Amino acid sequence: MEKAFKFRIYPNKTQQVLFQKTFGCTRFVYNHFLAKRIEKYKEDKTNLTYNQCSKELTSLKKEYEWLKEPDKDALQKALKDLDIAYKNFFSRPEMGFPKFKSKKDRHKSYRSSCTNGNIKFLGNKVQLPKLGKIKVKDRCTAIEGRILNATVSQNPDGKYYVSICCTDIPEIVLPKTDKSIGIDLGLKEFAITSDGIKVENPKYLAKSLKRLKFLQKSLSRKTKGSANREKARIKVARLHSKIFNQRNDFLQKLSTQLIKKNDVICLEDLQVKNMVKNHKLAQAITDVSWSEFTRMLSYKAKWNSRRIVKLDKFYPSSQLCHCCGYKNTDTKDVSVREWTCLKCGTHHDRDVNAAINILNEGLRVGV
């Protein structure tokens, strides 16, 4: 099993300079060979292979001496990423044609493979190629298994992180609970379970929106290219980072709790891309992060031998009575929060009833 361990790192001034050079060099190599591939295709309708680009990179280093400063494997990984992007485009055109990387993009990263032990985790420090030892934020977590590669990244707020990918990690199988649960995801409450528990929607973006508007307005008034504008930009980026970290912490804890307590988890397969086309609800839907939550449940279920069952998006979970199966089309209106079944007389809470239907259908389909 493969797993990544992410840590915040604190490079010194010299290491920060080399990080920036590596970010720039990998971007240059990616853009240079993307342009070469486009030019080659226009000339004779053929494409440059990864091996051809790799050989040409060697001669490119003689022309541009500064390409020798960063880790050489990071440049090869940039070529590999370009090759993968090309293959994805021809096999899955909906992914789009590879795009040139912008210097103005504040999300920066590069990847380097572990060869001959050049990447090591030393508790309070991490060793990276060409950079030596870098201080790591104190953590109780220690990495496991054999190191494959490390990805160094810088967020828009200026903080540096390293993600160490490891393999041969022993699987930890959680004890079986013989419990199953259905979950109805919503906006008013983040999640409603089939046993009647309602998890409140924390609405981190909505709570910080007033402060965010103030900072963005302040940023827009600063002169472009000035030091004050950069300071204002960092303040906006830090607030966005705080909102992201709050949301991520909430989703991680909730998904872990559900995985530990249940063997089978049933969900609806929501089409979030279509739902955000409703401009009145787009911000709230984006803030709630249903897709990220289901992604977390999926990979944690694989780690711990749990099962995730996703129902068809057209399944009418809110319209059916879980007792007798009567279909009430009036509940298509989301303002109907409670209703009484005309067939059996059972009074339903809209969301709890939907969660129970999701559980019953999930167990039926998933068997």
Report which secondary-structure segment, H or E, holds 157: none
Give SS3 for 328: coil
Catalytic residue among 71, 73, 263, 351: 351
Task: Tell me, yes or no, if 81 is annotated catalytic.
Answer: no
* Rounded alpha-carbon distances, angstroms, from residue 86 to 28, 188, 210: 17, 42, 42
How many residues belong to the chain? 367
Determine whether 351 is an active site residue: yes
Do 161 and 248 meet the contact criterion of CB atoms below 8 Å apart?
A: no
DSSP conformation letters of 274-316 = HHTTSTTTHHHHHHHTHHHHHHHHHHHHHHTT-EEEEE-TT--
Q: Alpha-carbon distance 188 to 110, whole Å?
A: 39
In sequence order, what are the beta bridge partners of 346? none
Q: Tokens for 131?
A: 């950079």
Partners of 10 in the β-ladder: 135
Contact 215, 221 (CB under 8 A): no
In the set 71, 73, 83, 184, the catalytic residue is 184
Distance of CA 121 to the CA centre of its chain: 24
Residue tagged 């909505």 (tokens): 206
268 is catalytic: yes
Catalytic entry in 71, 73, 268, 287: 268
- Kindly list the catalytic residues: 184, 268, 351
